[in-house]
A = this chain, B = another copy of it.
């Protein structure tokens, strides 16, 4: 009987991909000793009942091994790479089936040297006598504890001693996607497409957010992928990270779905669509929708290598200010309104972020390393300050393009009470939109040598097309 591995899912790129990445890292960081801690299983409610395993993204990038309790070191002075992990015992195999040995798994990603986990602390201790150990920040408490234990640090000190040179090297590498990464994500975009079109078809009176969300997540899981982030599926799009509830949709609502799936190699899709429940936008909804769509399209048409993504944010926000001014919700000089951040009342988030092995790619390293550099610093202005990605685009970047317009009662009341941007906002007119909700439209853009393009088949976004999908599904 053939035995199926329980994990050690052997989805990975060819070994040369990982060898070349590690080789490049050796060139960027010569004479350095690097430590990489893979993830452990995380308890759901007790140690034996765990969440779905997710490997650390840095570990996936450099070693491709999708199994818990792996650690690795690279000595860039010698090029020596060692993987530390433990083979399962016969007793374990009753529960897990036969698994490939650590040596076999390591060989698949081009690593010849493996040792048991117990050898790690001693090996690192020897190095620490005369060299720094470089490592990246750990998000999970379990990884922080592991690093603390290996290095003999207090847990609170672990993320103080992270290596900025290592972070910067990895950001420079992971920002520019290789062809195999682009192919991996592009070939998987159809899953995100299906998730969103399925949701559109369910945008009818009587369905609950929770039921639609369960179908969205199902479409992800049946393709083998965990959702790339908790699915947002809400008729309250103005609550930016709202969780699905048992609330039942009614005609006239706007259903905002922000959802994505992880490909077999853990690249994230991330799209947002907003659909009129029942299949017909009201005039007011269509007008706002088209402003958001124009902002999305403007960015998609303007991206190219060398352009600051900060300027794409401002382009989208200018489009929003322009549109809202035509509706009489905003007023005054458009450039001044943008410069003063008046748009942030309607769009308090940035226009997009990097996308890759993480849905906010590399965010665990620190947002500013990923989206900012010596050329562009983060604004302190409300809204603009939330922009995750601001620096110059390069061919091979993948970014999200996700403008939105929201009517957030608590924020409107605060701004009006404090007189914020009162020269640019027609608060009287605005109150007729108070119960509007929110609209966001998000595509994933690959930056190409001469411009940019939507990855995969674009999910229906033209308002007439969206309406007909809803209507045809409910005939």
Chain A residues engaging chain B, CB cutoff 8 angstroms: 1, 3-4, 6-7, 42-52, 54, 56-57, 90, 93-98, 139-142, 144-145, 148-149, 155-156, 210-211, 213-215, 217-218, 221-222, 224, 226, 229-230, 234, 236, 238-243, 245-247, 348, 357-360, 363-364, 408-411, 414, 434-435, 437
Contact = CB atoms under 8 A, between A and B. Distances in A.
Contacts of A155: 145, 148, 155
Nearest to A148: B155
Nearest to A228: B49
This protein's copies in its complex? 2
Given A51-B51, A98-B410, A414-B90, A243 B7 contact: yes
A140 B43 contact: yes
The 9 closest A-B pairs by CB, nearest first: A214-B222, A46-B364, A218-B218, A141-B141, A97-B239, A141-B142, A214-B221, A43-B139, A1-B435
A415 B373 CA distance: 63
Contacts of A234: 4
A140 B43 CA distance: 6
Contact of A222 (B144, B145, B215): B215
Contacts of A363: 46-49
A94 B358 contact: no
A4 B247 contact: yes
Q: Which of A1, A42, A98, A364 has the most CB of B within 10 A?
A: A1
A435 B246 CA distance: 46
A217 B219 CA distance: 11
Contact of A364 (B45, B56, B144, B238): B45
A156 B146 CA distance: 11
Contacts of A44: 54, 226, 229
Nearest to A435: B1
